[in-house]
Amino acid sequence: MTNESFEVLITAEQIEERVKELAKEISEDYKEKKPLLIGVLKGAVVFLSDLIREIDVSLEIDFMAVSSYGSDTASSGIVRIQKDLDQSIKDKDILIVEDILDTGLTLSYLFENLRSRQPNSIKVVTLLDKPERRRVEFKANYCGFEIPDRFVVGYGLDFDEKYRNLNDICILDA
Ligand code: 5GP
């Protein structure tokens, strides 16, 4: 038995359309470059895989895994690298691909960590942004949707490792 219920916040069609728009903007901004897109595991996997197929410049991908959350929905404030990159990013044009920007703790840590490795440039694309929840100042260069302060699942986002395979982004009322 489960008491979890969903309310669709963003449909698969809306996501598809917005991903195309973001990819167009990114393709334009990186047309003279060969960006390295760094997906933040695991939540950004679905977004990254859709995004790269809409970008029409030559690119590379890599992944990092960080944790700031346990199986709880509240931020612990602690960021830990669980999987690092497979390569040096010195002189590369880095685009961090994140699922959701919430308190900002994860991305501000990751951004500073990657910046210290001397890339040529570093930007951030996030599919979702919850500006109300920010604990440290952080602004993404590209953002799919601003959403209210609700816990969402689907399109890669989980609750306790479940619901990543939903096509829509849904508010979870547990
Ligand atoms: P931040 O460090 O900005 O607080 O947290 C970013 C991370 O928290 C995201 O990558 C994601 O893993 C998790 N997170 C924040 N809000 C939500 C949410 O509404 N739903 C899910 N599934 N994860 C969230």
Distance between CA 82 and CA 88 in Å, rounded? 17
Q: What is the DSSP string of 105-161?
A: HHHHHHHHHHHTT--SEEEEEEEEE-GGG-SS----SEEEEE--S--EEBTTB-BTT
Hey, is 25 helix, strand or coil?
A: helix
Written as tens digits, the pLDDT of the chain (174 aa) is 467 789 999 999 999 999 999 999 999 999 999 999 999 999 999 999 999 999 999 999 999 999 865 545 455 566 889 999 989 999 999 999 999 999 999 999 999 999 999 999 999 999 999 999 999 999 999 999 999 999 999 999 999 999 999 999 999 986
Task: For residue 160, indicate whether it is catalytic.
Answer: no
The two tokens of residue 157 are 């986002």
Fold of 7-171: Rossmann fold (3.40.50)
Atom of ligand 1 nearest to the CA of 157: 22
Interior angle at CA 87, CA 84 and CA 93, nearest 5: 100
Q: Which residues pair with 115 in a beta bridge?
A: none
Distance between CA 154 and CA 6 in Å, rounded? 10
Catalytic residue among 102, 129, 158, 168: 102
What are the helix (H) ranges across 35-164? 45-52, 105-115
Answer for the pair 170, 157: CB distance below 8 angstroms, yes or no: no
Compute the distance from residue 32 Cα to the ligand 1 centre, in Å.
32
Kindly report the pTM of this predicted structure.
Answer: 0.94
Q: Is the peptide bond before 42 cis (omega within 30 degrees of 0)?
A: yes
Atom of ligand 1 nearest to the CA of 105: 2
Compute the distance from residue 59 Cα to the ligand 1 centre, in Å.
26
Domain locations in the chain as residue ranges = 7-171
Distance between CA 147 and CA 144 in Å, rounded? 10
